[in-house]
Amino acid sequence: MAKEKEKENLFLQNAEGKSFYEFDAREIKDFIKLFDVKRNKLDKRNEQFNEKVDENVPNKTSANDSNAGETNDGHP
């Protein structure tokens, strides 16, 4: 957990303006690991979102199917 906080702190330092050139090799490796973790989380969230969207998309029906059960009174 402390290592994760340290990685987050590196990210915040960079967001506040610290250049990547100011970090040492170990910190850069930690950045890469942090980005990998964040990317995996985003990919999982994207997959979950797409699954939910796919479930909510109505099935395609033909024009006649949308009037199923209605009687034809002669009007379009």
Is there a domain that residue 10 lies in?
A: yes
CA nearest neighbour of 26 among 18, 37, 16, 34: 34
Is there a domain that residue 69 lies in?
A: no
Contact 29, 6 (CB under 8 A): no
Q: Name the residue range of residue 40's domain.
A: 2-55
- How much is the pTM? 0.54
pLDDT digits (tens, 9 = 90+) for 32-71: 888 898 899 999 999 988 887 767 666 555 555 555 556 6
Give the chain's domain count: 1
* Confidence class for position 6, pLDDT limits 50, 70, 90: confident
Is there a domain that residue 67 lies in?
A: no
Is there a domain that residue 68 lies in?
A: no
